[in-house]
Structure 1
Amino acid sequence: MRIAYLALGLNKFHFKGGVGNKIDTQRGFWRNFGHEEHLFFLTPDEVNHDKATAFQYGPLSRLPLLKNITRFISRSSAMARLIEELRNYHPDLIYLRYGIYAFPLHKIFKLAPVIVELNSNDLVEYRHYGWLSYWSNLFTRGISFRNSSGLVLLSNELAKVPENAALGKPIRVIANGIDFEKNQPLIPPKNITPVITIVASAGAIWHGVDKLIYLAKRFPDLTINIVGDGQENMDGLVPLNIHMLGFVPRDQVRDILMLSDVACGTLALHRKNMQEASPLKVREAVAYGIPLILGYHDTDLSEINNEYILNIPNTEDNVKTYAEEIRSFAYKMMGRRLDREAFRACLDQIHKEEVRLQFFADILEKKKNQI
C-alpha cells in the first residue's frame, strides 16, 4: 500500500513529545511491513521533519479580530497546498489524524479512501479550547466523519459515543501501544522517600495536576514531579516537594522517569466526560518497568490484576479519598520495577500496527468490490 498520513495540527512540541513519537513509530512499522508512506501535516510552527512535508500557517495580524480571520485564511491556503502535494503523491489510502476542519479538506475524499483516527471525545474536549474551536468543530466534524471509509478509535468508549456509532462506518478500536524494543527497562532508583511522576500538558485539566498538589501538601515526605506544566499555570505557590518542570523533550522525560518510583496516569478524565483512555506516557512507563497509578479505565490495562498497578476511581475526589493508599503504594514500590513482559501481548506496537494495516487492507478490498 501507498499510505498518506495526514495531520491537521502538529506543532513543534508534538514532535518533541509522545504524539510525534507515536506517529514516527507507526510509520516505521508500516515501512517494515513493506508499505510506502509519507506524512503531510499542517503546523503553526517552523518544523523540519524527516520524510514529511510540512505546511506552515499563522495569523498575519496581531489585532484580535484580524488575527483569527488571517489565521483562518493562512490555514486554508496551507491546506490547499497540502492537497495539491497529496494529489501528486497518488496514495492508495489516506490516514487522517482528526483535527478541526480546514478548507478545502473535503477535497481529499476524492483522492483515495480516507480512514479517520480519533484520539479523544472531540465533542467534549473542544469545549476546553474556547467557543470558536468548539463551534467550528461541532459544525464541521461531519465533513470528515461522514465522508470517511472507516474509523480507528482509541477506546471502546469512543465507539459507543452516539454521534460516532450513528455514522454506520466500519470501526476498529486500537488503543495506543509502545515499541518495547526501542524503550528498554530502567533500573529502579535508590530514593530515600518515594518519587511520583506525572507527564501532563499545560492547560489540560483532565490530567488532574491540581490533585497531586493536594497530595503533596498532605504528605510532605512524597516528592512529585509534574512534567509538561509549569508554576505559571498554578493558582498560588506549590509545596516545596512539588517539582513543576514545564515542557521537557522526550529524551529528558526518560531521565526523570529513571529516578521515579511510580508513574501516574491521568487523574481527572471525568472532567471531559470520559472514563476510558490509553495514554502514551502510561505505555512508555510500562516499557520502562515503572509501577503505575491509574485514575481511569485503561483500554488495555485495567482488566489486568497486577500488584504493580494501583487503580483508583475516575472521580473528582479520587486522590483525596485514596491518598493513604497512594502513599502506601508508592512506598511499597520503592526499589522495584514491574515485569514488562507481562504486558507485552496487550501493549506491543507491532501487533497493533498489524491490526491497523489489516483494517486498511479490508477497507481497500471493500472499495475494490464496490467498483
Structure 2
Amino acid sequence: MNLVYIAYLADWKVSQGVIRKITDQVKTWSVEHNVTLILISNCEVTFESNSNFNVKFFRINSFRSKAFVFSFVFNYLESIDIDIIYTRSILPFFGFKKILKNYKVVYEINSLVRKELDSKIKNSLRDYLNYFKNIYSLSFHTYLAGLVCVTNEIEKFENSYKIPSIVIPNGISTNKLNKKIGSGSIIPQLVFVGSPNQSWHGIEEILDFADKFQSQLGFHIVGAVATESIYSVENITFYPYMNDSDVDNLIVNFDIAICSASLYKKGMYEACPLKTRKYLSLGIPMIMPYVDTALVDKGPFEFICEIENKPNNLIDNAERIIDFSKKFKSRSYDIQNYNIEIDISELELTRLNFFKSIINRIN
C-alpha cells in the first residue's frame, strides 16, 4: 500500500510521547509498504538517516502559513501515489476539506472531542473561538473513509456518522525499554509524568494527596508543574519537562506510578495513555483511576491498584494506596507474562489490515 501519515502538531518540542508513537508507527508500516510522513509544525524534526520512509516538512511560523498549509499539502499530495491518508487531526483550514473529498482519509481519535472542548472553555474570547472552530471541524467527519478510536468509549460516542471504525489502543515499542530498578528508599517513592495545563491529569489531586501524607510517601512530579511554588513540602520533588528518553531513564528509579487522576473532568472513564504503556513495559506497579482499554476483561492484576474516577479519589483511597505502595515498593513484573497487548508491532498489523479493508470496501 501507498500510505501517507499527516501529523499536525503546533509544537513538536512539547509532544515527545506523540512523536515517539508516530515515528514507531511509520517505521512499522514501512517494512512492507511505501510510507510518506508529512510533518506540519513550527519547528523541524530530524530522523535517523536509516529511516525507511519519506518525510515532507511544512513549517507553520505565521498566521498565513498556518491558514493555508493544507492547500500546500494538497498540492504535494497530487504528486505522489496514495491509497490511504492517516491523520490525528481534522482542522477547518483552507484545503483540508479538499483533501478529505479527494482521498481515502482515516482519522485517529484520541479523546472524547466534544467533552474535552467543553472542559477547556474558560470564558475567554479565544477559548470560545477555538471551541466553535473545533465544533465546525466535526462536520468534516462525514467525508472520512474510516475511524480508528483508541478506546471503546470513544468509538461509542464519537462515531455519529456510522463510518467504518475499529478500536486500537495506543502502543509502544516495548523492546526499547529497560526495567524498573526502584528507589531503594525505606519510604515508597511515587512518580507522576504529565503535561502543563491538562486539568484531567489531576496534578492538584496528586499534590493535595502528597501534602497530607508527607511522612509515608515520597512524590516525584515530572513535566506537569503548574503550581510548584505553593507546594514546597519535603516529600515532593519537581522535575522540568524533559525528552522521552530522559523520562525513561528517570522513572525506572521510582517504585510506583500514578496514572492520570482526573479524567472525570472531561467526562472520560476509559483511556490508554502512552505513559501507562511505558509503566507496563518497565514493570512499574500503578495506581489507576480509570479503565485501560488494553486491560478490559483481563484483570484484575495485583500490580495495579484500581481506584474510582471521581473527585478526591486519591485521598479517599489513601489507606489502600499506602498499603499497595509498601507492598510493591521493591517488586516489579514482566508484562510478557500477561495477556496484555501493548506492543506496537501487533497493534500496527491490526491497523494495516483495517486500511486494506477500507481500500477494498470503497473500491
Q: Paired residue for 1:79?
A: 70
Q: Which residue identity lines up with residue 55 of structure 2 in the other structure?
A: A
1:207–1:267 CA contact under 8 A, matched in 2: yes
Q: Does 1:367 align with 2:337?
A: no
Post-superposition offset of 1:281: 0.4
Equivalent residue, structure 2, for 1:137: 134
Does the residue aligned with 1:42 lie in a helix, a strand or coil? strand
CA distance 1:341–1:299, shift in 2 (3 Å): same
- Aligned mates of 1:140, 1:219 — CA distance in 2: 45
> Which runs of 5 or more residues in structure 2 are unaligned?
49-53, 122-126
Give 1:6's aligned residue: 6
Given that 2:214 and 2:235 are in contact with CA atoms closer than 8 Å, whether structure 1 keeps it comes out as: yes
Does structure 2 conserve the Cα–Cα contact (< 8 Å) formed by 1:41 and 1:82? no
The TM-score, its normalising length taken from structure 2, stands at: 0.91
Give SS of 1:346's match: coil
Q: How far does the alpha carbon of each residue in 1:305-355 deviate from its partner, in whole angstroms, 9 at most, with x for none? A: 111000001001211100121111111111111221134642222111111
- Deviation at residue 165 of structure 1 after TM alignment: 3.0
- Following the alignment from structure 2 to structure 1, what is the Cα–Cα distance between the partners of residues 172 and 258? 17
8 Å Cα contact 2:101/2:143 also seen in 1: no
Q: 2:244 aligns with which of 240, 243, 250?
A: 250
Letter in 2 for 1:271: K
1:106 is aligned, of 89, 93, 97, to: 97
* 1:148-187 correspondence to structure 2 within 5 Å: 148-161=144-157, 164-187=158-181
Output the amino acid matched with 1:104.
G
- For the residue of structure 2 that corresponds to 1:89, the secondary structure is coil
Partner amino acid, structure 2, of 1:336: R
Q: Counterpart of 1:347 in 2: which secondary structure?
A: coil
The alpha-carbon distance between structure 1 residues 170 and 22, as it changes in their structure 2 partners (threshold 3 A), is same
| Deviating 4+ runs (over 6 angstroms) | none
The residue aligned with 1:146 is 142
Among 312, 320, 323, which residue is 1:325 paired with?
A: 320
Provide the aligned C-alpha RMSD in A: 1.8
CA offsets per residue over residues 153-188 of structure 1, 9 Å max, x none? Answer: 011101111xx3320110100011122222242333
Deviation larger for 43-52 or 247-256? 43-52
After superposing the two structures, state which structure 1 stretch, 169-178 or 182-191, moved more. Answer: 182-191
Per-residue deviation, residues 243-287 of structure 1 (Å, max 9, x unmatched): 221311111101221111011111100000111100000001111
Q: Which residue of 2 aligns with 1:266?
A: 260
Match of 2:124 in 1: none
Q: For 2:130, give the aligned amino acid.
A: S
Question: Mean Cα displacement is larger for which, 124-133 or 305-314?
Answer: 124-133
CA shift, 1:79, in A, is: 2.0
2:59 aligns with 56
Is the CA contact 2:286–2:305 (under 8 Å) kept in the aligned structure 1? yes
- 2:51 is aligned to none
Aligned equivalents of 1:335, 1:102: Cα separation in 2: 51
What residue identity is the alignment partner of 2:33? H
Q: Which runs of 5+ in 1 are unaligned?
A: 60-70
Contact 1:42–1:79, Cα closer than 8 Å, also in 2: no
In structure 2, the partner of 1:65 is none
Identity %: 29
Alpha-carbon contact 1:213-1:238 (below 8 Å) kept: no
Matched position secondary structure for 2:78 = helix
Give the structure 2 partner of residue 90 of structure 1: 81
The answer to whether the 8 A contact 2:8-2:89 is kept is yes
Partner of 1:122 in structure 2? Answer: 113
- Aligned partners of 2:259 and 2:286 also within 8 Å: yes
For 1:100 and 1:245, the matched residues in 2 are separated by: 33
**Structure-2 change in CA distance of 1:350 and 1:85 (3 Å):** same
1:190 CA drift (Å): 1.6
After TM superposition, the score normalised by the length of structure 1 is 0.89
Taking the aligned partners of 1:262 and 1:109, their CA distance within structure 2 comes to: 44
